[in-house]
């Protein structure tokens, strides 16, 4: 916990009062309880709905893993939260929500205007690098579909193995790392203050560097995530989408680790 709170990924939240760390806590709770207490994991996932755009991959991961109790718990949490908000604040909040959503849609379409230096998602980042909006949109769609396929592949393989269905096969941290990094890339609206989510990507990389030594790609991925809060605003000024590139490299590196490791590593290595 001391290591996590010392990471520069939290800096944008500490100085601007954004909700990225709160959202990350919900995701960490879902990861922690994913298999042992799926109902609690579902509550955490349901609370992630406060940042709805970050949860595009989550339902597919849950269905691929066959985590029915977490799905039911998440759905119930969302329904109860919406009902409570409506009872407390009135039905008018939903028209306000729609109005603000349309406003942000126009903002995203223009490349986030003056806050493009905070962008992590492919659509805005690629526009900042000079790509036309239509091409950036096509690439965003292709990236989202690719991420979706990788996440389903990872969680589906785990759920199909009967001997591993109720336990960790030694690669669950990698699956969750893929999910966390993918959540930031699958949506066109993710900003640097959402990056506490990638702690779930930092941890499996660090664990493997510590255990096996580092390859150049693993060190580059880990270092780029640590440097992201500082390098992103500086390099964006010269049209280099550092945040998007750093998380993309990390996603690919984690996927390579996932493919490279056997499904049943020795227990000593898992520990």
The 3-state DSSP class for residue 191 equals strand
Q: How far is residue 98 CA from its own chain's centroid?
A: 24
For residues 124 and 110, what is the distance between their CA atoms, to the nearest angstrom?
8
Choose between 19 and 109: higher pLDDT. Answer: 19
- Other C-beta atoms lying within 10 Å of the C-beta of residue 141: 13
With a cut of 60, say whether residue 163 has pLDDT above it: no
pLDDT (0 to 100) of residue 113: 58
What pTM value is reported for the model?
0.85
Lowest mean pLDDT among 9-18, 120-129, 210-219: 9-18
Tokens of 222: 């880990």
pLDDT tens digits, residue range 109-147? 765 656 667 788 898 888 888 888 899 889 999 999 999
What integer best gives the mean pLDDT of the chain?
83
Give the start-to-end residue ranges of the domains of the chain: 2-270
């Amino acid at each position: 916990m001391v290591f996590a709170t010392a990471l520069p990924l939290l800096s944008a939240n500490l100085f601007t009062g954004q909700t990225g760390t709160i959202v990350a806590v919900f995701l960490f709770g879902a990861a922690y309880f994913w298999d042992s207490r799926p109902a609690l994991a579902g509550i955490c996932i349901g609370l992630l709905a406060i940042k709805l755009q970050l949860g595009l991959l989550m339902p597919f991961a849950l269905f691929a893993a066959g985590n029915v109790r977490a799905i039911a718990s998440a759905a119930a949490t969302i329904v109860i939260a919406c009902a409570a908000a409506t009872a407390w604040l009135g039905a008018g909040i939903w028209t306000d929500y729609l109005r603000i959503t349309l406003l942000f849609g126009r903002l995203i379409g223009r490349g986030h205007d003056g806050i493009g230096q905070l962008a992590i998602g492919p659509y805005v980042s690629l526009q900042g690098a000079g790509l036309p909006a239509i091409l950036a949109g096509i690439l965003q769609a292709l990236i989202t579909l690719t991420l979706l396929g990788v996440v389903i592949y990872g969680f589906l393989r785990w759920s199909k193995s009967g001997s591993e269905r109720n336990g960790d096969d030694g690669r669950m941290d990698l699956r969750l790392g893929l999910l966390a990094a993918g959540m930031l890339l699958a949506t066109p609206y993710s900003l640097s203050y959402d990056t506490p989510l990638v702690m779930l990507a930092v941890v499996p990389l660090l664990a493997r560097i510590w255990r096996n030594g580092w390859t150049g790609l693993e060190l580059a991925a880990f270092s780029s995530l640590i440097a992201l809060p500082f390098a992103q605003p500086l390099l964006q000024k010269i049209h280099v989408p550092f945040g998007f590139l750093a998380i993309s490299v990390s996603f690919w590196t984690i996927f390579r680790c996932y493919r490279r490791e056997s499904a049943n590593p020795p227990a000593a290595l898992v520990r």
